[in-house]
Amino acid sequence: MEIRKISDYIWEIPTTEKEGMLVPARIYATEKLLGEMDKGVFEQVTNVACLPGIIKYSYCMPDGHWGYGFPIGGVAAFSKENGVISPGGIGFDINCGMRLIRTDLTVSEVKPRIRELVDILFKTVPAGVGSKGLVKLSVEEFKRVMIHGIDWCIEKGYGWEHDKERIEEYGCMPGADPSKVSEKAISRGISQLGTLGSGNHYLEIQVATPEKIFDKNVAKAFGIFENQILVMIHCGSRGFGHQVATDYLKVFDTAMRKYGIVVRDRELACAPFNSPEGQDYYKAMTCAANVAFANRQVIVHRVREGFSQVFGKEPEELGMDIIYDVAHNVAKIETHEVDGEEKELLVHRKGSTRCFGPGRKEIPQIYRKIGQPVIVGGSMETGSYLLVGTEKAMKETFGSTMHGSGRTMSRTAAKKKVIGAELKKEMERAGIIVRAVSMAGLAEEAGFAYKDISEVVDTMEMAGISRKVVGLRPIGNIKG
């Protein structure tokens, strides 16, 4: 496959590479990261470039790896008028995302009680496949969660009024319609509010070490100081979102025949955004996105309770404000400049994060002059990053950057290389107290199964798309 070098951090596959490509494919990566990407990335990013109505480029971020239809790390914007919407471009875990919470506590205050803290959080935040939450809902109440997202949580006492100012979309995407989701989706999601799930989902206690505060002024604006304790949450819409995606993939199989759409890979099933099928999926996807915001919010509530129990102070006294919440599996209608003209587009981000530059109205007032906070989760052994979006991102990537470090090894291969119980001991020796539902699940998420998070983050900083603010080191991890 012909891959042209555009710069040290951008690689382009031209439209001549594959019949039907409407735009070139662009991959952000260093030469080393490009070499580590599996072949599936190149096939998938060029297949996406063939979808009707795609604008400018089909992108893959430096954490890219093989996914369902789209590569994970994929970004694609489509015309609202003649473009498509595709569940493969959003992912099965709709609105999987990251949330970061600050505290006023320092590492010297927390480290002596870290085991107690991790044990309490492991007990109060259910994790694992099919885990059930402590919130009991009727079907009607669950539909209210779908429509109101974070506002439902605040009304029920699971959040503070100002929490929603620090969440992407203010914790509630407009346009949700519960009549567009199936009874099966409701039955899978109704008991899962406030649960982490499995796979690479986690709740992590982290430290802002002095040597990794890269921009002191922006860190201060986010409420971050040296040796501070923070909490990071990574999870999504659980079984509910998965069922919504499964349901509409079947619908789109028929819709593609009806609208004469041919795709290079069945996993790219899609429908015109303006068709009844496309609109129905968008409304159902929005329900799942709002449920995911609410899921992370109920977890935040439990985390605040856990800290309060251990440190004997109210969460407000501990300064447990949300810094921000970002989605990394979602499609949104956004306005972007294309060839000098502002256009409304449907931007798919699958395993990638919005990183709008300063001034955009979508960024909360408190951060608008700085740019959008971007939370990038690494592996449970290597740490994570808080970044900020740039102007250049608006010009080059529809305001998008990476979402994590990205796998280089399958879960099966990781399990063959390390035993979970041994990994747990190794992590404890390295100063990370970990609790996991299953030791096999822990082995799947070993640090060596992922790319070097620092190289992934540096790639997008050197490309000018997102800037580092703080690097975060784990000291406690609850693994789903």
Question: Would you name the residues annotated as active-site residues?
Answer: 403
N-terminal to C-terminal alpha carbon distance within the chain: 38
Q: Which residues contact 374 (CB under 8 A, 6 or more apart)?
A: 326, 353, 354, 355, 386, 387, 388, 389, 401, 466
The residues with which 347 forms a beta bridge, in sequence order, are: 77, 332
Nearest to 17 by CA among 2, 27, 6, 5: 2
Rounded CA separation 78/18 (Å):
19
CB-neighbour burial class of residue 257 (10 A; exposed 0-12, middle 13-18, buried 19+):
exposed
Q: Which residues contact 171 (CB under 8 A, 6 or more apart)?
A: 149, 150, 151, 153, 163, 164, 290, 293, 294, 297, 325
| Paired tokens of 413 | 């291969």
22: number of Cβ within 10 Å: 14
Rounded CA separation 430/422 (Å):
12
Nearest 5°: phi and psi at 319?
65, 35
Nearest to 116 by CA among 232, 205, 196: 205
At which residue do the structure tokens 């994060």 appear? 353
Q: Which residues contact 308 (CB under 8 A, 6 or more apart)?
A: 314, 315, 318
